[in-house]
Chains A and B, each alone.
Chain A
Amino acid sequence: FMEPRPPTPSSLPSKLTVNFVLPYAAELSKAEVDMVIVPATTGQMGILPGHVPTIAELKPGLLSVHEGNDVKKYFISSGFAFVHSNSYADILAVEAVPLDRIDPAQVQKGLSEFTQKLNSASTDLDKAEAQIGVDVHSALNSALTG
């Protein structure tokens, strides 16, 4: 359970405090980082200390946490990013997996499979399902290569 946030400081803080939570665990809790890049539905969004308070919905994509020269990458399925006025960022993801745990071969296979399904889909439901599969797999692909 989370402790209350400190009030807004008068000067710009140097670090961004990130809470990265999943429904079953807290991946990062009060981690002090330099920058976070989240895949919002409107595009990649970078959050730095002193960012204006924002609520953003996230689409499946790459989430990277930058700490000095260290970069931690996660692939998230979807979620929300909530930036507060005192450089606190809450990132909620329904499912997140560190990038090094994803198998590129599987991703390629899945992508070709779903593209095929999309081409041969007959009903609207099948088309929608196949489209979702293609979207997720291409996002995975670009996350792995990008």
Chain B
Amino acid sequence: MSCSNLTMLVSSKPSLKDSSSPLSFRSFIAPVQIPSSNACNNSISSKPSSSIHCSLRDLRTRIDSVKNTQKITEAMKLVAAAKVRRAQEAVVNARPFSETLVEVLYSINEQLQTEDVDVPLTNVRPVKKVALVVVTGDRGLCGGFNNFILKKAEARIRELKTLGLDYVVISVGKKGNSYFLRRPYIPVDKFLDGSNLPTAKEAQAIADDVFSLFVSEEVDKVELLYTKFVSLVKSDPVIHTLLPLSPKGEICDINGICVDAAEDEFFRLTTKEGKLTVERDVVRAETMDFSPILQFEQDPVQILDALLPLYLNSQILRALQESLASELAARMTAMGNATDNASELKKNLSRVYNRQRQAKITGEILEIVAGADALA
């Protein structure tokens, strides 16, 4: 068939579901895939770059389409970069809320140390069934982002199976939804769609589902699977235990490694020497010594009862926001690489094009000279 190098470049994630994008991606691919009249053959020569022999017109068409592709991928990269900044701001804006919640939790816990707290969300039961909340992205073209999460989910499912535990999945995000839809042997409780800007509303939908599952004792443990934002090129799928909540508000990892809720890591997108980098800072929220005369307007247990669902909500929201930021960073990297590849491909093609053009001109001149010679 005709030159198929281009399709290799762009079809890493062919399912671009963002139909609202003004750059209609598919329409650029289509003309290239129309078989041209002159078949070209790829001959791998001794040179490191494979030499392609096509007609001049085909080469020109190819160069044009590669140029368009490069423009698109570069635009996508810039859009993703702008969105990462916004996502990061959203995380920063949400911090005072969760910080204050943690403070209140701490104070209440100090007060209630002697009493037995009987809040349904903190019940530790022997685990027979686990709910996995898997957070994926909505669109493709983000490198290995969705794959990593889904692989981790599969690994965790296998672990649970070997431990003899039952499991159910709550899938958030279109990519995860389609993955689990194709695998009916994995029980899925609910499919939810992710969004461009996770708000408390979306987090509440997930929180409600998880809450009802846990309180009705259908599941004994809820784990949250999302991508933690490490750096622009690296993202880390992590598993956090969401429920049962520890009354102190600790966030426990899968291996039982608990992080104090007051300690919080956050990332910052900054520029260092003109390049975009990410800095991680660990900030410890000030937990004031509790005042001995702290008054409770309502019964402390009642307050705790109302507080913990809110805390759950803020945890889920945080995970959604970090996941979104990781997806955007992955898309930025992937589109950046695609742009580089496209420019290199264009360079190679242009070189071949020029060489062929010059060969053609030389041929014509030789013909003319030979003809003139023959006449003379």
Contacts and interface: CB of A to CB of B under 8 A. Distances in A.
Interface in B217-274: 266
B295 A54 contact: yes
Interface string A16-38: 00010111111001000000000
Contacts of A82: 100, 103-104, 107
B317 interface: yes
A37 to B, nearest CB: 14
A4 B94 contact: no
A29 B298 contact: no
Interface stretch (B2-10, B146-154, B185-193, B305-313): B305-313
A56 B99 contact: no
Contacts of B313: 23
B307 A80 contact: yes
B interface, size bucket: 35 or more
A93 B98 CA distance: 11
Contact of A94 (B94, B286, B310): B310
Contacts of B96: 1-2, 19, 21, 26, 29
Given A24-B90, A56-B297, A1 B95 contact: yes
Contacts of A45: 297
A57 interface: yes
B1 interface: no
Nearest to B310: A94
A112 B314 CA distance: 33
Contacts of B285: 2
A85 interface: yes
Contacts of B310: 80, 92, 94
B302 A57 contact: yes
A2 to B, nearest CB: 5
Interface string A78-96: 0010101100001010110
B28 interface: no
A128 interface: no
Contacts of A80: 101, 104, 303, 306-307, 310
A41 B97 contact: no
Nearest to B306: A57
A56 B298 contact: yes
Contacts of B100: 2, 19, 21, 82, 90, 92
Given A1-B283, A23-B200, A55-B303, A92 B101 contact: yes
Nearest to B203: A23
Interface string B313-334: 1100100000000000000000
A45 B313 CA distance: 26
A53 B297 contact: no
Among all A-B residue pairs, the 8 with the closest Cβ atoms: A56-B297, A4-B286, A21-B96, A23-B200, A53-B291, A53-B294, A54-B295, A85-B291
Interface of B: 90, 92-97, 99-101, 103-104, 107-108, 199-200, 203, 266, 283, 285-286, 288, 291, 293-298, 300, 302-303, 306-307, 310, 313-314, 317
26 contacts: A1-B95, A19-B100, A23-B199, A24-B93, A24-B199, A26-B93, A26-B96, A26-B97, A40-B297, A41-B297, A42-B298, A52-B293, A54-B297, A55-B303, A80-B101, A80-B306, A80-B307, A80-B310, A82-B100, A82-B104, A82-B107, A85-B291, A92-B310, A94-B200, A94-B310, A95-B200
Interface of A: 1-2, 4-5, 19, 21-26, 29, 40-42, 45, 52-57, 80, 82, 84-85, 90, 92, 94-95
